[in-house]
Amino acid sequence: MPPGGGGPMKDCEYSQISTHSSSPMESPHKKKKIAARRKWEVFPGRNKFFCNGRIMMARQTGVFYLTLILILVTSGLFFAFDCRYLAEKITPAIPVVGGILFFFVMGTLLRTSFSDPGVLPRATPDEAADLERQIDIANGTSSGGYRPPPRTKEVVINGQTVKLKYCFTCKIFRPPRASHCSLCDNCVEQFDHHCPWVGNCVGKRNYRFFYMFILSLSFLTVFIFAFVITHVIHRSQQKGFLDALKDSPASVLEAVICFFSVWSIIGLSGFHTYLISSNQTTNEDIKGSWSNKRGKENYNPYSYGNIFTNCCVALCGPISPSLIDRRGYVQPDTPQPAAPSNGITMYGATQSQSDMCDQDQCIQSTKFVLQAAATPLLQSEPSLTSEELHMPGKPGLGTPCASLTLGQPTPPSSMPNLATEATLSDIMPLKDEHGGHQFLTPDEAPSPPRMLGAGSPLAHSRTMHMLGLASQDSLHEDSVRGLVKLSSV
């Protein structure tokens, strides 16, 4: 091959061949690509999401910001005004321990506030309908009668009967220990309570972080309050009490904040320590679900009977995955199949030609159906003159056609081409003799009118002339038979 032989080959361009035709109603250039949406964007609950769904919080976050301000301001004042003096006069370990407690408190607070507490996904319309159907079958309720809404189911857990309540918002039977939060509008698994201080519900997936937050916060509060008092006392011994307050006014503010908050924080920590040791939730304890007042046989089926085991399960057990998949993509609706192009397939067509042919096919298909309804599909000679009727060797009117050219419809045998009314009277009795018509095969079905040649014997004027000569009853009978045969094919 010569060195320049590859030049013409590089200039060749190949276009993609369209091997299928789209629906006439579809225009490819009009299709718009819909951007995929994530599930957190269409989440039905009253929650706020940040960082593309990675952070999940309740909508009421004002108290959460107050919590952040109190912790940051108090700790900041402590590290700025007290830790410097305490590190020089007492020990440098004080700011180190205070820093560790501070970062642990902030980490557990953000982990509790920004995580999924264990929200249960709502039932889809199909699942809700199936659940209603199962309830109808179980209750034996007729469709015409009034049926009260389903309320509870009963299950047995460790020998204790537990009722499962039906949630009318989520359309599900809540699992054991789950409850619906009215603020977040979600069913939460192992629901404890909704805490405005952390700006989120407290449930199965973030309870351990909530407990570690309030426990570490109680230690941090006691730590700051104790060393603020130590700082003031140490300064008052050198300069007096009033001079000590003047030298460190921030210590007064820190002491006031810690004094009024330490009691509630310590009390809350002790209460949840009791709940963890007995493997209960705040919701169950407030309702008295496992209280002995309800009967001697009433006991907590979720307790392991050992305080150490209950604490290990609550604090060291595996964390269940999130059930809502908030960062997943919303699955689009199943696309409808394209309409058939009435058996016509185009090969080697470009995109513009395909669009034009689709419109032509739609028009031709409509005309084709109308002509098939008006023209009876009966087999006979294409055209016969009065002289050919009596010629020897020629087939008669009742004789099937020996060959038929595809694409040219055949006129009915009850409408031959006649020259005079006398021959019409001679031919009409033949219809009774040959009453059984022979239909065309599917391959010999008439083509659309557009495929007929200009010189076709079935021109419009000649067809109208033949219809005027034929009998109306015979035309109607043959047309109905042709339609039935066409629909059966």
Q: Which residues are catalytic?
A: 195
What is residue 152's three-state secondary structure?
Answer: strand
Q: Where are the alpha helices (DSSP H) in 317-444?
A: 351-374, 421-427, 429-433
Would you put residue 325 in left (φ > 0), alpha (ψ -120 to 50) or beta?
Answer: left
Q: Give the span between the Cα atoms of 58 and 60, in whole angstroms.
A: 6
What is residue 420's three-state secondary structure?
Answer: coil
In sequence order, what are the residues at sequence separation of 6 or more whose Cβ sits closer than 8 angstroms to the Cβ of residue 125? none
**Cα–Cα distance list, 296 to 145, 159, 292, 461 (Å):** 41, 14, 6, 102
**β-pairing, 47-50 with 55-58?**
antiparallel
**β-pairing, 172-173 with 179-181?**
unpaired
Q: Are 102 and 221 in contact (CB under 8 A)?
A: no
- Quote the Cα angle for 201-206-211, to 5°: 95
C-beta atoms surrounding 188 within 10 Å: 29
Bridge partner residues of 153 (DSSP) = 164
Q: 251: exposed, middle or buried (C-beta count within 10 Å: 0-12, 13-18, 19+)?
A: buried
Q: Give the span between the Cα atoms of 223 and 101, in whole angstroms.
A: 9
Q: Give the span between the Cα atoms of 290 and 303, in whole angstroms.
A: 11
Which string of b and e fits 296-322 if b means at least 16 CB within 10 Å? eeebbebbeeeeeebbebbeeeeeeeb
User: Which of 207, 221, 220, 214 is CA-nearest to residue 112?
Assistant: 207
Q: Crossing angle for the helix pair 307-316 and 250-278, nearest 10 degrees?
A: 120
Q: 115: exposed, middle or buried (C-beta count within 10 Å: 0-12, 13-18, 19+)?
A: buried
Q: What's the 3-state SS for 294-310? A: HCCCCCCCCCCCCHHHH
Bridge partner residues of 165 (DSSP) = 152
Q: Give the span between the Cα atoms of 309 and 305, in whole angstroms.
A: 8
* Residue 335 C-alpha from the chain's centroid: 14
Q: Give the DSSP letter of residue 81.
A: I
